[in-house]
A and B are shown apart, each in its own frame.
Chain A
């Protein structure tokens, strides 16, 4: 996947990603306010396939998975960060949004054309360097390939029903 990088700083919290005042609405409406406090042009400007790049502790705060879901709904293909808040990381993978930990994420300039390779755990900056990332454990890569936990559970339950016809 190759796309534009949207660059944010450290400690981006879930209140910024999925603002509380909009949490009672569906994901279409909520996602239009995603990160508006940090970049009012973000939600309207993201093109499908774009990639969010951040500093340390991305997604800190709440357990609301709408944070990961809103990013996905806007069409972001992945989040690359120096580090993630653990809860957000689990939510992202469970919702099928690739999250890649990259110690050198700070080297990615805003608006850069970048490519993310999940299997190789690398980020390639067009016309520049490639950055190594922490590899995603195989069982989580499998979860991502399934499209998230709901899909994976659906496939597993269907397989179990086939093995054991009612």
Chain B
């Protein structure tokens, strides 16, 4: 019986040959990830109440990224608790203040095709870029996982989204996801598996595929998958994963597998997208925005400040300076990506253009620490522009790709990066 990639991943975790969409199964978890906000501060008291031990500390990854900038006593206490807990529980896979959890997981080679993983963060579908069934859960459900090693799942349907052809210059994964949010809405994914395929997706580097998988959260999917290939293999080898641990062939959707929906789009026709306040679903081609002045341009977050994203922003800003009155902030998604960006001269380009560099953390995207000013008009590479998330209720946040954010910073208004790069 032909199966989708999602079905194959769930079947393996459930110890079954095949599974049928809609049935409830119990899955063994290969990897559980949580951060300072969703992890120890909530898990510790519950574990103590249960008097329970962790099922397998080697399968747990803890990353501090939400409160690491420690702007006040409460934030510092949350991070301090995470550090103490990691030590007490002997968590070896502890990454402290070196980047955003989803990026840290990938660059350290934790994710390998065929795995079944959960993360206590809504952008956990990012792992799906590696052919991993990964999704976000809350802290109490994470408690269940770290005590039992298991989780229930309704076997998902698969929504297959193909992009044929090639994306145009200055069009990237962020544009794809904003377009899809606009087209299908914030519940378009129906909490099912979304698989991205087609020649344009196959041509994307891993970090761009991670952006597709990541923003499946905004599209309302449970996970966002890209079937592994030679690009996946090369990235993982670079991340230190042994060749024998990388399986490609078993983790593909079979021809004739059951699909809930199948959409084919022409990549060459996609224009840069901008989502107006206060929803990613308010996406329109950049050309449809008239004269919109901006105060702040923000390049940050797991979805918008990886090395590939920094390259895009730097390409637009090279040898130029942001418009007078515009504040440009850049928060590289991980220390590793920041180091490479420095070697490549990208950071110098960005700083020469007027960028203020921020720590490798969730930063303003989470809205847990520093926030944008009331009334500010912001264009941002982040994932969500819900009212009040990153600032006051009167703060207006537009979402766009690193190309478009950089071009807008340069001009001082929402701008088409293709015009700037000509």
Residues of A within 8 A of B (CB): 11, 13, 15-16, 19-21, 23-25, 37, 56-57, 60-65, 68, 83, 85-87, 89-91, 94-95, 137, 139, 148-150, 153-154, 157
B389 near A20 with CB under 8 A, answer yes
A154 near B138 with CB under 8 A, answer no
Across-interface contacts of B143 in A (CB, < 8 A): 149-150, 153
A61 near B122 with CB under 8 A, answer yes
Contacts A23-B368, A60-B220, A153-B147 known; A15 to B389 CB distance under 8 Å?
yes
A15 near B388 with CB under 8 A, answer yes
A153 near B50 with CB under 8 A, answer yes
Across-interface contacts of A37 in B (CB, < 8 A): 387-388, 393
Across-interface contacts of B139 in A (CB, < 8 A): 65
Decide if the interface of chain B is mainly helix, strand, loop or mixed.
loop
**Bound complex: CA A62 to CA B367 (Å):** 12
User: In the assembled complex, how far is the CB of residue A106 from the closest CB belonging to chain B, in whole angstroms?
Assistant: 15
- Write the chain B residue with the least CB distance to A89: B191
**A-B pairs with beta carbons under 8 A, tally:** 117
B384 near A15 with CB under 8 A, answer yes
Contacts A15-B367, A149-B140, A154-B49 known; A56 to B187 CB distance under 8 Å?
yes
Across-interface contacts of A65 in B (CB, < 8 A): 42, 138-141
Q: Does B4 contact A (CB under 8 A)?
A: no
A24 near B24 with CB under 8 A, answer no
Of the A-B pairs whose beta carbons lie under 8 Å apart in the complex, a sample of 18, sorted by A's number, is: A11-B186, A11-B187, A19-B388, A24-B368, A63-B138, A64-B38, A85-B186, A86-B220, A87-B137, A90-B141, A91-B140, A91-B141, A95-B140, A149-B143, A150-B49, A153-B50, A153-B144, A157-B52
- Write the chain A residue with the least CB distance to B45: A150
Contacts A20-B368, A157-B50, A157-B51 known; A64 to B187 CB distance under 8 Å?
no
Across-interface contacts of B403 in A (CB, < 8 A): none
User: In the assembled complex, how far is the CB of residue B400 from the closest CB belonging to chain A, in whole angstroms?
Assistant: 19
User: In the assembled complex, how far is the CB of residue B158 from the closest CB belonging to chain A, in whole angstroms?
Assistant: 15
- Range, interface on chain B: 35 or more
**Bound complex: CA A114 to CA B391 (Å):** 36
Residues of B within 8 A of A (CB): 24, 37-38, 42, 46, 49-52, 67, 72, 74-75, 78, 120-122, 124, 136-141, 143-144, 147-148, 152, 185-187, 191, 220, 222, 279, 281, 366-368, 371, 384, 386-389, 393
- Write the chain A residue with the least CB distance to B389: A15
* Pairs of residues from A and B, 4 with the lowest C-beta to C-beta distance, nearest first: A86-B191, A20-B367, A65-B138, A91-B138
- Write the chain A residue with the least CB distance to B393: A37
User: In the assembled complex, how far is the CB of residue A45 from the closest CB belonging to chain B, in whole angstroms?
Assistant: 19
- Write the chain A residue with the least CB distance to B37: A23
Cross-interface CB contact of A16 among B74, B141, B386, cutoff 8 Å? B386
User: In the assembled complex, how far is the CB of residue B154 from the closest CB belonging to chain A, in whole angstroms?
Assistant: 9
User: In the assembled complex, how far is the CB of residue A83 from the closest CB belonging to chain B, in whole angstroms?
Assistant: 6
- Write the chain A residue with the least CB distance to B188: A57
